[in-house]
Amino acid sequence: MNKIIALLLLISISAFGQQNKDIEKPIRNLFLGMKNADTELIKSAFADNAVLQTITKDGTVKSDSIQDFVASVSKFSKDDLEERIIIEAIHTDGGLASVFTPYSFYLKGKFSHCGANSFQLVKQNEEWKIQYIIDTRRKDNCKEIK
């Protein structure tokens, strides 16, 4: 009986770990695409009608389109942009996932700023896509992520 319970627990943990990897994939692809200046990889991370927003220093929320974001990344070379993240939390319910990631951002190898990203992902056609990102950006009280 104990062996059956242990086996079921192991299967459950393994399935949960795979689900988290699947959820993380578009997020990791977004930042890999930025680092490699690969606009196709960046675009593949997002749902068709995704939303990008940033909370500014004065507390207002600035919106950006995926197309404008991709166009801005395309102006950089490989290794010019690097965002290092730590995935602190993943919450799911069916085809919805929420992921929180503190980050450090580097421009051409030099620390630029830090903050946190909040991602909302949706599962479409058996694949997770980023539907929404809102982030903060600051230069003070930063802990650089190595």
Question: Which of 3.30.200.20, 2.40.160.60, 3.10.450.50, 3.10.20.740 is the CATH number of 2-136?
Answer: 3.10.450.50
pLDDT at 57: 87
Q: What is the mean pLDDT of residues 24-48?
A: 97
pLDDT at 29: 98
pLDDT digits (tens, 9 = 90+) for 7-20: 444 444 444 456 78
pLDDT at 1: 55
Inter-residue long-range contacts of 67-74, CB under 8 Å, 24+ positions, other chains counted = 69/42, 70/39, 70/42, 70/43, 73/33, 73/34, 73/37, 73/39, 73/42, 74/37, 74/39
Q: What is the mean pLDDT of residues 89-109?
A: 97
When comparing pLDDT for 141 and 4, which is higher? 141
Q: Return the domain boundaries, the chain.
A: 2-136
CA-CA distances (angstroms) from residue 31 to 4, 25, 50? 41, 10, 16
pLDDT at 11: 44
pLDDT digits (tens, 9 = 90+) for 115-138: 999 999 999 999 999 999 999 999
Q: What is the mean pLDDT of residues 18-37?
A: 94
When comparing pLDDT for 57 and 134, which is higher? 134
Q: What is the mean pLDDT of residues 48-58?
A: 95
